Structure 1
Amino acid sequence: MTKESRDHRTAGHGTPDHRIALIPGDGIGTEVIPAARRVLDAVAVRHRLSLTYDTFDWSCARYLRDGAMMPEDGLETLRGYDAILLGAVGSPEVPDHVSLWGLLIPIRRGFQQYVNLRPVRVFEGVPSPVRGAEPGAVDFVVVRENVEGEYGEIGGRLNRGLPGELAVQEAVFTRTGVSRIVDYAFTLAGRRGGTLTSATKSNGIIHTMPFWDEIVAEHAAGHPQVAWHQEHIDALAAKFVLDPARFDVVVASNLFGDILSDLAAAVAGSIGIAPAANLNPERVFPSMFEPVHGSAPDIAGRGIANPLGAIWSAAMMLDHLGHAAAATRITDAIAAALATTPVRTPDLGGSATTDAFTDTVISLL
């Protein structure tokens, strides 16, 4: 049985509206998740929401102790929650493929969180390293397919350690998988009143990418109000840097979306501020929310991690749970903290602690 902390004190009033599973994970995840919870508790009081939390110690430390990142019944344990807030996964002592495939990916796939949603925004007060990427001008979303594509499990290795050793990794693109992520992206672009860009590489990848392109074109017919085009991934990466303001919704396969969203976070000023949502849009299973920055073992335990990504992820969680006003209150407070105060963590050029930045956001709620 894993160690687990149950905290049934509620933020807000009355019977809990939502049960939240907290998985701080590794490294700075154990620092930014408490920060995000403090902000959630503060906004819950203001919006008369009630939240209750259970904290799980599923992590690389657990793997080193017990031989598994999470217990065998981990998914069943999480199934009853309304949402999951994850900190980070990864440790130098555990190979990345062991930690990711032992925790993060089983949750994403077991709960059919096939939409990975990553908003990108240049905030006032956070200079972009890209010339011309101005606050208010760069505000787009990367919609990444999250459960199949290039990150399939089909393949293997043969003749390990011999001169003829080989490795085979199969990409898996299904009509169902591509159709549902493309429809989600077109619908999102329609709500935003913007355009859609499809990332492809059909000039070099002969089977999966033409298949992707065909399905995008088919589903575009069902969204005539949305202007769209496709870009080859190499040219698209260059345009993210040369002219990020031109984009609104970008839809991409698992690998392409992973790379593009991290590049976009760097364009916005720091990967430390980037949030992500792993969504099961049908709400059959809980969705999971996480900052993109990873476990950052080089600064873990020093109290200087940027909590912005985790706080913004918590805002995305509230929005998914139906509390758009509370979510907006958090993102407005983040924007105000960056625009009107000098408080910055070291990744943004300042000297503030995790707690100090969190205090500033809470004061601006």
Structure 2
Amino acid sequence: MESSFRIAVIPGDGIGAEVIAAGQQVLEALAKRSGSYGFEWIPYPWGSAYYAEHGVMMDAKGLELLQNSDAIYFGAVGWENVPDHTSLWGLRLNITQNFDQWANIRPVKFLPGIDSPLRTDTSGLDWIVVRENSEGEYAGLGGRNLSGRGPGNEVAVQTALFTETGCERIIRFAFDLALTRAVPKVSSVTKSNAQQYGMVLWDEVFRRVAADYPGVETESVLVDAMSARFVLAPQSLSVVVASNLFADILSDLGSALAGSLGLAASANLNPEQRFPSMFEPVHGSAPDIAGRGISNPVGAIASAALMLDHLGLPGEAGKLEAAIEAVAASGIKTRDVGGTAGTQEVTDAVIAALGQ
């Protein structure tokens, strides 16, 4: 074995444990077939159950522990015993912000055999949402004050942060990504007609960066118009770059159009590799189906493919993506996409497809 990768594993809450276990099984099978690399899994029990016992979502030295890994494989966060903002900021956002994982990529892929609500031929539809992942509307700046005035009089301030550095690095990342695609095009999404400071700055930086990429087609679209475009003209999309909030929402819309949030993969990247990057399915902890063995593992498995590519194994990532497509085309799929298969059945099918 030539390489061994240290992967920090945070299954988190709900179906997170189920889909991450599925992804690990697939990665182990792929590594065994290759014989040239392997994985050292370092599990961490952080999440809502950890919070119930310790009063925090992760260990106080958690970031220090994660720092030594080559990548982080994350399942989901959120449960009824913890307020959503506490669970999110206490674990996932704690990691992405402190590790400066400023580039979030969320591919929107239409798999064969998976029905889409779109009333159009979905063959050939394939775009990527690039999300600014460190500032914007999720910067965490603001506060709640004046509670002393009594019920109904408190004031909450939530401040979005846009910096030239933050805007330029994510926009340039999107352009570099567009150069690798069949259709080199970047669509920038803002609401700069109404948000006249931060998003006008974004627009100005976008135009400046675009001048360095004369071979890439560009457009600037307001977020409401882009929401409609996702549904009415998805064939016009290649790389869509947007702020933390807008890209979060648009990528979920894209995944729903592809058939289910259970299919969606994502990568939280620190492109400079000063910190480990984190890979996770887009879906949440899904308490309503947790423990029933019916969760869709495809989003987690596809996130594993993104992790392989990040680790310098693009060929292996391609094999895994091809196996996912083969299984979807075969009709082996979970309930959320119209099938009857369970989590393990889909996982076993992906593993079998790797050998074909």
The TM-score, its normalising length taken from structure 1, stands at 0.94
> Conserved in 2, the CA contact under 8 Å of 1:133 and 1:243?
no
Per-residue CA deviations over 1:260-298 (Å, capped at 9, x if unaligned) read 000000011100000000000011110000000110000
- Partner residue of 2:98 out of 110, 126, 129: 110
Matched, 1:61 2:61: no
State the partner residue of 2:75: 87
SS in 1 for 2:308: helix
SS in 1 for 2:189: strand
Letter in 1 for 2:174: A
- Partner residue of 1:41 out of 11, 18, 28: 28
Per-residue CA deviations over 1:321-347 (Å, capped at 9, x if unaligned) read 0001111101000000011x2211111
CA distance in 1, matches of 2:140, 2:332: 44
Matched, 1:125 2:108: no
Per-residue CA deviations over 1:125-159 (Å, capped at 9, x if unaligned) read 00110111513x21000000001001122211123
Query: Which residues of structure 1 form unaligned runs of 5+?
Result: 1-12
Aligned residues: 350
Of 297-306 and 124-133, more deviation after overlay is shown by 124-133
State the partner residue of 2:87: 99
Runs of 4+ in 1 over 4 A off after TM superposition: none
State the partner residue of 2:318: 328
State the partner residue of 2:279: 289
Q: How does 1:164-175 map to 2 (within 5 A)?
A: 164-175=153-164
CA distance in 2, matches of 1:271, 1:243: 20
- Partner residue of 1:145 out of 125, 129, 132: 132
Letter in 2 for 1:148: E
How many Å apart are 1:163 and its aligned residue? 2.9
State the partner residue of 2:167: 178
SS in 1 for 2:162: coil
Letter in 2 for 1:344: K
The TM-score, its normalising length taken from structure 2, stands at 0.97
State the partner residue of 1:3: none
How many Å apart are 1:350 and its aligned residue? 1.4
> Conserved in 2, the CA contact under 8 Å of 1:117 and 1:278?
yes
> Conserved in 2, the CA contact under 8 Å of 1:133 and 1:245?
no
CA distance in 1, matches of 2:43, 2:217: 44
> Conserved in 2, the CA contact under 8 Å of 1:130 and 1:241?
yes
Per-residue CA deviations over 1:185-217 (Å, capped at 9, x if unaligned) read 011011214200000111111111111000000
State the partner residue of 2:260: 270
CA distance in 2, matches of 1:280, 1:163: 42
Superposed CA RMSD = 1.0
- Partner residue of 1:344 out of 327, 333, 345: 333
CA distance in 1, matches of 2:66, 2:88: 17
> Conserved in 2, the CA contact under 8 Å of 1:122 and 1:133?
no
- Partner residue of 1:191 out of 169, 173, 180: 180
Equivalent pairs: percent with the same residue? 52
